[in-house]
């Protein structure tokens, strides 16, 4: 971990105004923001750890726990809700065996509820590994997710306690 942090810190001067960019870069390297990284960032930018933690927990883009290799996001905004995203979310929960905000024990999948993607004309929307799927139905969601689960079984396995994804 410390070598990864040194690499990130090398691109910065250690100023407070760099905090969000540093958090983004560390999360990019690690896949999330582990406690030891928050402590090191606090020391590097010379601010209390509580400030670093506060920033990391304020913004939805930051994760304090390891995320799955595949991230599934289901929009729950008004247009998506009206057009059936509740049923799409229920399908995702059933297929993946996890609730929103959880990651599978093998770190293959994380499921998220998102307030709005801004793609209301395509409602309901899900995003799988940054690929947007619009006009989603529970049946299409099940097909997409089952294929993803099957593909992940065929990939070379990694230790569940291996590094970031």
C-alpha dist (Å) from residue 84 to 63, 71, 129, 144 = 28, 20, 21, 17
pTM recorded for the entire structure = 0.81
CATH fold for the domain made of 70-154: Glutaredoxin (3.40.30)
User: What are 4-40's pLDDT values in tens digits?
Assistant: 999 999 999 999 999 999 999 999 999 999 999 999 9
Dihedral angle, C-alpha 9, 32, 38, 54, nearest 10 °:
120
User: What are 53-91's pLDDT values in tens digits?
Assistant: 999 999 989 999 999 999 999 999 999 999 999 999 999
Domain boundaries, the chain: 2-58, 70-154
Q: Could you tell me if 129 and 147 are in contact, meaning their C-beta atoms sit under 8 angstroms apart? A: no
């Amino acid at each position: 971990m410390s070598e990864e942090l040194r690499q990130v810190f090398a691109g910065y001067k250690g100023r407070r105004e760099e905090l969000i960019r540093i958090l983004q870069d560390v999360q990019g390297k690690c896949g999330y923001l582990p406690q030891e990284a928050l402590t090191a960032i606090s020391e590097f930018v010379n601010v209390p750890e509580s400030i670093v933690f506060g920033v990391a927990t304020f913004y939805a883009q930051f994760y304090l726990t390891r995320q799955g290799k595949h991230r599934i996001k289901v929009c729950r905004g008004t247009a998506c809700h009206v057009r059936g995203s509740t049923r799409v979310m229920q399908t995702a929960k059933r297929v993946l065996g996890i609730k929103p905000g959880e990651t599978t024990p093998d770190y293959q999948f994380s499921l998220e509820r998102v307030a709005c993607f801004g793609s209301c004309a395509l409602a309901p929307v899900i995003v799988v590994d940054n690929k947007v799927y619009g006009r989603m139905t529970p049946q299409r969601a099940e097909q997409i997710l089952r294929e993803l689960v099957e593909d992940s079984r065929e990939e070379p396995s990694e230790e569940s306690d291996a590094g970031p994804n």
